[in-house]
A = this chain, B = another copy of it.
Amino acid sequence: MDDPVLLTGAGGRVGRAILAGIGEAYDWRLLDREPLAAERLPAGVTTEDVVVADVTDEEAVRRAVDGVGAVVHLAGDPRPNAPWDSVLANNIDGTRTVLAAAVDAGVDRFVFASSNHAVGAYETEDRTPDMYRKDDEFRLNGSELPRPSNLYGVSKATGETLGRYYHDHHDLSVACVRIGNLTKGHPPREYERGQAMWLSHRDCAHLFDRCLAADYEYEIVYGISDNDRKYYSIERAREALGYDPQDNSAAYTFGGEPKEEAEPDSA
Chain A residues at the B interface, C-beta cutoff of 8 Å: 84, 88, 92-93, 96, 100, 121, 143, 145-148, 150-151, 153-154, 157-158, 161-162, 164-165, 168-169, 220
Contact = CB atoms under 8 A, between A and B. Distances in A.
Contact of A165 (B148, B164, B220): B148
A150 B169 CA distance: 9
B164 A121 contact: yes
A165 B153 contact: yes
A121 B165 CA distance: 8
Given A84-B96, A96-B84, A158-B158, A164 B151 contact: no
B147 A145 contact: no
A158 B220 CA distance: 17
B157 A121 contact: no
Contacts of A145: 143, 145, 161, 164, 220
Number of copies of this chain in the oligomer? 2
A53 B46 CA distance: 52
B161 A154 contact: yes
Interface-centre pick from A143, A145, A151, A162 (highest chain B CB count, 10 A):
A145
A168 B147 contact: yes
Contacts of A157: 158, 161
A162 B168 contact: no
Contacts of A143: 145
A158 B154 contact: yes
**Which 6 A-B residue pairs are closest in the complex by CB-CB distance?**
A121-B168, A148-B165, A158-B158, A157-B161, A146-B161, A154-B165
Contact of A88 (B84, B92, B100, B168): B92
Contact of A93 (B88, B121, B153, B162): B88
A147 B164 contact: yes
A145 B150 CA distance: 19
30 contacts: A84-B100, A88-B88, A88-B92, A88-B93, A88-B96, A92-B92, A92-B158, A121-B164, A121-B165, A121-B168, A121-B169, A145-B145, A145-B220, A146-B161, A146-B164, A147-B164, A147-B165, A147-B168, A148-B161, A148-B164, A148-B165, A150-B165, A153-B165, A154-B158, A154-B162, A157-B158, A157-B161, A158-B158, A158-B161, A161-B161
